[in-house]
Structure 1
Amino acid sequence: MPPLSPDSLSLDSVVAALRSAGCVFAEDEAELILSTARTLDEAAAMVDRRVAGLPLEHVLGWAEFHGLRIRVEPGVFVPRRRTEFLVEQAVALARDASLVVDLCCGSGAVGAALAASLGGPELHAADIDPAAVRCARRNVAPFAGRVHQGDLFAALPDTLCGRVDVLAANVPYVPTEEVGLLPPEARDHEPLVALDGGADGLDILRRVAAEAPRWLAPGGCLLVETSGHQAPLAVEAFARGGLVARLAVCAERYANVVIGVRP
């Protein structure tokens, strides 16, 4: 189908264009695009980008996450709705948290959601990717959050050691050989560093679990999302790091969160 022109733009024409490109939820996406675009020219350009295969969130410039509208820029990992389960688990565990860290923060969605849900704790986030750091700074700014660039804990101020009540780490956990099997929206438009978790997908998780106890306050908790088949090894890694570990599962959202508490 040729690119849409502003003159030919209507809900029906946008739906038809999206459906021809294989968008399963063409009607919903069309309404989001038309309600987000400020002009007909912008709407037509957004439809063209979506038809070309860009993730809807990159086209819109935002993603809905835990009741918030999170800014998402091209080249930045799109927050998944299943990760809301991690936020819910953290909130249930640590309603009185005064210091929260969002590690491997990507857009900063998890940190922003935790700050909003926990009544404004001190918030720090970190990522190794400069594009993610720039994006996260915009998303955590309403909560006075600080975002640091660097490799895992090396990015954080030393003053946080032994004080963190909630450490959320949405680490990459796709095994290297399976990255190529991801949907094109992910493998072609999201950074590899946010997807590739090493040979078995648990390289970064193991590093986080080993070092987390030094950063957690007594009773503080580490929460990491993983897959169902990786979960037993992930729980084992938490236990080896000295954490009291358990697995929380939400079958409806295909969400598996490993939770470790510092004794």
Structure 2
Amino acid sequence: MSFSFDPSSSPSPSLPAVVGRLRAAGCVFAEDEAELLLSAARSRAELVAMVERRACGHPLEHVLGWAEFCGLRITVEPGVFVPRRRTEFLVRRAAAARPDAGVVVDLCCGSGAVGAALVASLPGPGVELYASDIEPDAVRCARRNVPEGVRVLEGDLFESLPGGLRGRVDILAANVPYVPTGEVGLLPAEARVHEPLVALDGGTDGLDVLRRVTAEAGDWLAPGGILLFETSERQAADALAAVAGSGLLARVATCDELYATVVVGTRPAG
């Protein structure tokens, strides 16, 4: 099922027509998405193209070119991981735990949404933010979203960070992939087809990248600094064990509203 029109003579598709097309394609929130597409399109032709891309399974955020995250409009380009609303819980926990943070690292930064939101949430002036990702597309996108002057670096986890940050990081937010390899194929098509595999696949049990982060996190955190990352509820016990095994004080926080599970590791102040 599709709709089409001659941009030179036909009227722009109405809200009901767009809703019908999206609903037929299986979009659960067809009404809300239709309103966003109608407000974003600058021409009849662009609207049709956007609706068809969404109906074909492209993430809504890639079609619009942005995602709302913690009250910010984050630019999201094709091929870049889309920030999830549940990750707002991680940002809130980090800002509440360390409102005095002066140095923040956004590891596996994707679009840079977490880092940008943390800087906007922290009350202190002059917060130093460093963001890093292994994907060149993500690095390019993140540079559009973080405040001017922030260093967005390309590299595998900590390898691109300046050595002078060791022992100085107050908040280390690591949005690591945690989907087990065998379950990637079960993800919705808009994720597994249109988002980078490296941002989804966490290895055999989903915790491979997490273990690499926890193994080095203590060297980068300042005394009292915190590491935060998301995981699933069923992975939380193993994730806590990995954090504790690295010498950090480990705890888990959950948010039923956002269906979010965040593990926090703190470097002892002593």
- TM category, shorter: over 0.9
Please give the alpha-carbon distance, in whole angstroms, between the structure 1 residues aligned to 2:192 and 2:46. 26
Please give the alpha-carbon distance, in whole angstroms, between the structure 2 residues aligned to 1:85 and 1:143. 25
| Selected match of 2:56 from 29, 52, 57 | 52
Residue 46 of structure 1: SS of its match in structure 2?
Answer: helix
Percent identity for Structure 1 against Structure 2: 70
| Selected match of 1:130 from 114, 117, 136 | 136
Tell me which residue corresponds to 1:164.
169
Q: Do structure 1's residue 139 and structure 2's residue 148 form an aligned pair?
A: no
Tell me which residue corresponds to 2:41.
37
Question: What root-mean-square deviation, in Å, do the aligned CA atoms of Structure 1 and Structure 2 show?
Answer: 1.0
Q: Do structure 1's residue 250 and structure 2's residue 268 form an aligned pair?
A: no
5+ residue gaps, structure 2, are: none
- Give how far 1:143 is off: 4.9
- Give how far 1:10 is off: 1.3
Which has the larger helix fraction? 1
Residue 177 of structure 1: SS of its match in structure 2?
Answer: helix
- Give how far 1:3 is off: 4.0
Tell me which residue corresponds to 1:199.
204
Tell me which residue corresponds to 2:221.
216
Q: Do structure 1's residue 13 and structure 2's residue 13 form an aligned pair?
A: no
Deviations 1:2-56 (A, max 9, x none): 3433425111111111111111111100000111112222111100110111010
Please give the alpha-carbon distance, in whole angstroms, between the structure 2 residues aligned to 1:67 and 1:111. 13
Letter in 2 for 1:62: W
Q: Kindly tell me the number of residue pairs found equivalent between the two proteins.
A: 262
| Selected match of 1:114 from 108, 113, 118 | 118
Q: Do structure 1's residue 81 and structure 2's residue 90 form an aligned pair?
A: no
| Selected match of 2:107 from 103, 114, 129 | 103
Please give the alpha-carbon distance, in whole angstroms, between the structure 1 residues aligned to 2:111 and 2:35. 24
Tell me which residue corresponds to 2:232.
227
Q: Do structure 1's residue 186 and structure 2's residue 191 form an aligned pair?
A: yes
Contact conserved, 1:116 with 1:143, CA < 8 A, in 2? no
Tell me which residue corresponds to 2:178.
173
5+ residue gaps, structure 1, are: none
Please give the alpha-carbon distance, in whole angstroms, between the structure 2 residues aligned to 1:129 and 1:64. 22
